[in-house]
Chains A and B, each alone.
Chain A
């Protein structure tokens, strides 16, 4: 599975958009890009995934670079409840995931 690189931490103001970047330069053509987040004292939860096209769901948007070597998770209006560690991971099989170090998002009121 492709290795991912994310900033260790980011900070945002409440109700402002947040762009969380992820580099996955060794991704293969069949690898999906997945995002999970882990709230304090909880197991990770699914956020979004995509292959080539940008994706939107009720939680977030996923912008995928044309060469697929990077992607950006977009939270349109950050809330205090969005404070978590966000993990970007890639893989072909929708089963096991290899998590990188993740980005700890701090949301300021």
Chain B
């Protein structure tokens, strides 16, 4: 199993600013995943973060808007840049442990 800690758990931000979300895992993992969950919606995969290489983004998501860092095998950050109210969502970090995925509790972001 894997225990994932995300910080912050929630934040309210002004439009035009940026927020960096941290994800810490209690074990070393090769891949980490970032998801977005808009209000009342399902989860949408943003990108896959591998240690030592650039993140791989899904269609509709770009590095300039969602830069990701992966400095080591237990940590990753997702930045939401130049925020607008449409970025108000829950952002979740996920890792794979064996045949199942583990998710953090999420970061609830509100952009005003």
Contact = CB atoms under 8 A, between A and B. Distances in A.
Interface in A14-31: none
B103 interface: yes
A96 interface: yes
Interface band, chain A? 20 to 34
Contacts of A44: 43, 92, 101, 103
Nearest to B33: A96
Interface string A25-63: 000000000101000011111100100000000000000
Q: Is the interface of B mostly helix, strand, loop or mixed?
A: strand
A34 B101 CA distance: 10
Given A97-B45, A99-B43, A101-B42, A43 B99 contact: no
A95 B31 CA distance: 8
B48 interface: yes
Contacts of A49: 99-100
A85 B85 CA distance: 25
Given A95-B31, A95-B33, A95-B96, A36 B101 contact: yes
5 contacts: A43-B103, A49-B99, A94-B98, A95-B101, A101-B42
Interface of B: 4, 31, 33, 41-45, 48, 92, 94, 96, 98-106
